[in-house]
Chain A
Amino acid sequence: MSAVTDVRRRGGRASMVGSGLLVVAVLVLALWVPYNVSLGTLSSLVGLFVLVILGTTWNLMAGYAGMVSIGQQAFIGIGGYGVIHLADAVGLPVLGAVVAAAVVCGAVAWATSFLVFRLAGGYFAIGTWVVAEVVKLLTTQVDALGGGSGLSLGAFQGADRVARVATVYWLGLTLAVVVVLATFALMRSRVGLGLTAIRDDPTAASGLGVPVDRSKRIVYVASSAGVGLAGALTALNTLRVTPDSIFSVGFTASMIFVVLIGGIGTIEGPIVGAVVSFVLQDRLADLGSLYLVVLGVVAIVVVLLAPRGLWGLVTRVTDVHLFPLVHTVRREASED
């Protein structure tokens, strides 16, 4: 007698190899790169970590929870202003200030979620943009935050430049790894399963007992706190924030491009997208705004020809999942 059983598995041998390569890449970035490249390169690599965080958090919202925000620059700004204010005026140690700034972002996201969650789809997008504009407007009105001219970071004053750049670099790498792993953990949890159901059909998910609003709120708060980390990192790297630079809608543009190019709805996609945009940015640095044009054109071409992004092309031919979220079910005959 033979019965048919379903064998559920995640990933596979190819995926194990892929994940192993990723770990090696992170180790190289952590242990080899800092001692073998110039300080300027190290500082610009922080930009890559920022892109990874931004792409991952934006993908968490849009790709997994179906919330397209064009106002996440609000949390870049709060993170950036927050870290400088908390480190200089309140006197927290820099690392503590980074974490506290992210917590503030989460709190603001939680409060505003009651407003923007009344909206869906494009309305939600516009609502988040409005929130970002209001936050920017309020920031310029507060004298303690430097009004329209912004703030400079004083906490690193007197510190050795090499030590400062290295600290920010390792902090950035750590935060990027933490954000990616946390997103992976969240998606493998019960909440993640619920989110996938919500993305596919909110009504049906709700009917099956998925707490739709609560799950979306968790994602919105977590994602905004992550964006706050990226904002704090940006401020530590540039040592200065102004309302126009740190609340720039350009940050949201990069998030969207990173996710579109890499592939929406996968954890690997934003990482691939971040690397591609970082390389483009690096190559086209002298050309100024041509970078955004090229990025925009690449994104549109990718959307037209490969709607699942570059990572989508990889998974179509190889079945590699660096962060296995899918269940592969295979029927096997087994002896009873």
Chain B
Amino acid sequence: MATRPPASPRDELTLPLLTASDVSPSLFLQLLVSGIVLGSTYALLGTSVSTIYSTTKVFHFAHAFVYTAAAYVALATASSLGLPLAVAIAAGLLVAVVLGVGIELVVYRPMRRSGADSLGIFLASLGLSIAGPNLIQIMFGPDGRGFPAGDPRLFTLGTATFTTWDVLTVVVSWALIGGVLAMRRSRWGLASIAVSANRELASAVGISPQRVHVYVFGVGSFLVGVAAVLFLLNQSATPNIGLQPVLLGFIATFLGGVGSQKGAPFAGLVLGMVVSLSGLWLAQTFQTAVIFGLLFVFLIVRPQGLFGKIAA
């Protein structure tokens, strides 16, 4: 992607191993800004996963397929069909929602009806998350493909730089997270809380868990579609882009605490900041290890997550 601008400032940084005394204020500021951008992405992914997981308790690994499909449909609409960017984004999001809800209706629901346990559903989901991206690879090839989004403007804040796309990522992510949190007070939001807390009791008072499932799969898939489109602004897509964001979404969900809607976005933001700021002392290869280390410490010391309740 030679014609495109550097992905984002954080990807250009090659970080040597530093000792604490070497920490420069300018590096700190840059990493802080990058951390906020990264953390907003993780927060959006976490909200997407936790919306689905906390209500349905399905380990929806096929979310990775939804992510990849949204990205590729947006790409194909924009580059192959040559339609305007807005149409491409809308197409990507529409496919995300249709695919996510479709998986629930065509795969998970019949399985639940025929008495499949959560292991069976989890395995079917894994099957989808492997078959789907390979299907995309057959259709579009294994090479990376970029989005014709044009060049972003560069902003400077003191010594730190960021782009229009970074601003867009932060604003869109938090607007949507805010929207989802606000919808908790809506009819459907309340119904999904009820199903999440006690499925049987919820259906006893006239809430249909089936319809609530469709709702949360729709919302969660929409959010992951947005995350995929935002990803495309900065980086090019390959058929395997989906797995990592979805695992990060799960990690943010666990760290935040299953069942707590505020937990996942908060944990996602903190995770992004910690990962970015760990660049002050650690080489970039080890930043993944920071995520895993945090996850393990939490799973062992505080398995219910930041905001989770022990009973859950």
Contacts and interface: CB of A to CB of B under 8 A. Distances in A.
Q: Which of A121, A137, A140, A292 has the most CB of B within 10 A?
A: A292
Contact of A297 (B111, B131, B138, B286): B131
Q: Which of A62, A122, A137, A295 has the most CB of B within 10 A?
A: A122
B182 to A, nearest CB: 29
Interface stretch (A5-13, A34-42, A234-242, A300-308): A300-308
B127 A62 contact: no
A115 B134 CA distance: 33
Contacts, number: 99
Nearest to B125: A300
Contacts of B123: 68, 256, 260, 299, 303
> What does DSSP make chain A's interface, helix, strand, loop or mixed?
helix
B59 interface: yes
B124 A303 contact: yes
A292 B288 contact: no
A300 B114 contact: no
A176 interface: no
A202 to B, nearest CB: 14
B251 A137 contact: no
Contacts of B178: none
A299 B135 contact: no
Nearest to B303: A118
Interface in B229-267: 243, 247, 250-251, 254
B295 interface: yes
B94 to A, nearest CB: 23
A174 interface: no
A107 interface: no
Contacts of B247: 126, 129
A304 B299 contact: no
A126 B250 contact: yes
A297 B65 CA distance: 14
A115 B300 CA distance: 8
Given A118-B303, A134-B289, A289-B134, A303 B127 contact: yes
6 contacts: A70-B126, A118-B300, A130-B296, A133-B288, A134-B292, A307-B116
